[in-house]
Structure 1
């Protein structure tokens, strides 16, 4: 029996550690993520599940729905050449592939993308945030699930050479000393109690998270895995 799950799990503490590291001789703005492993305390019944999409954005009244979504419970592969909302966001050359083995035990999802550009902060004096390319992957194991991430060509903000899970960059300059935006890399979301499943966002931009002239969220590289039990 397949148990349907959504990508929007509640954000709680994750087991283990995952570090995004800049490889030797990498260009500035390039990074990768070491394996993140989620181990179940009590797995839910059903086949393994994997799902993902290249991203989604909502800024004010503008909504960009999930781009190139795939799922082992539905469409197994999707592509989208470009999605653009002027002065807000651009996603280019996106693809997602979901797979599951014949006995329903090992499920994988791989999401890739080309150029990503977020322009919605510019009218408020913020930076244009760009990626040249990205890959997000999640796969189940017989005892849990794990994820790996990488990206190239980050500009507009800077990250250190080693980036742990849920690493947040704060962009100052909002009203009353509040942040103009936060950018979370390797955002890992797991349920409580843990069941081995997890949702991972390669990057998540929040506009004026503590209040301001508008609100907005932009996600890049979202993957979800839930193991068999």
Structure 2
């Protein structure tokens, strides 16, 4: 733990719309945010609603100043953009800087940082696709090319339950698939098998759907 990795990791994920849909029906929807936090350590909680949210049809562009959540988690400057294109498809782009959380240090774990992060998605005539990038990551090691839902487990000491699962390029699609997707550049799940802390930290979120305005 604690190793530093400088990467420009890029990943692409795809989801397909039902075959009965036709291209002239496309009227996409989309949303994005820099991140969100909902964590608890014992009786102490920290919560942050989505930061700098954007949405197609309402808030096309947004930005945030640095945000500190509780005493452990920080997000630097960031921007979000949610656009409907002339052909009815949508494009969502999220870009942030200087994410850091030290929530695991009190349990013997590493500080987790990302100097830069991006996530994005686009709706298409056949569904939606998503992408993400991370730069200058510390606290864990990742490959240069990140497949969907790549999970890094931060182990506990001496055989104790893991401190966290870090899911990179997390792809969330409904079942049955309808062509929509949500992608998170990073999703930190605290003590996934139970323990003194719980909750989730989301970093770089983009959501696209080909239908529904």
TM-score per shorter chain, which class? Answer: 0.7 to 0.9
TM-score, normalising length: structure 1 = 0.82
Question: 5+ unaligned residues in a row in structure 1: which ranges?
Answer: 1-26
5 Å-filtered alignment, 1:149-160, equals: 149-160=132-143
Match of residue 18, structure 2, among 24, 34, 41: 41
5 Å-filtered alignment, 1:64-103, equals: 64-102=48-86
Question: 5+ unaligned residues in a row in structure 2: which ranges?
Answer: none
User: Deviation at 1:46?
Assistant: 7.0
Match of residue 203, structure 1, among 186, 191, 210: 186
Moved over 2 A (4+): 31-35, 160-163, 174-177
5 Å-filtered alignment, 1:43-192, equals: 47-60=27-40, 61-102=45-86, 105-173=88-156, 177-192=160-175
How far apart, CA to CA, are the structure 1 residues paired with 2:130 and 2:7? 18
Aligned length: 202
Q: Which has the higher strand share?
A: 2
Instruction: Provide, for residues 168-209 of structure 1, a one-character-per-residue CA deviation record: whole Å limited to 9, x for no partner.
Output: 100111696311111000000101111110000110001111
User: Deviation at 1:97?
Assistant: 0.6
How far apart, CA to CA, are the structure 1 residues paired with 2:192 and 2:69? 22
How far apart, CA to CA, are the structure 2 residues paired with 1:114 and 1:151? 10
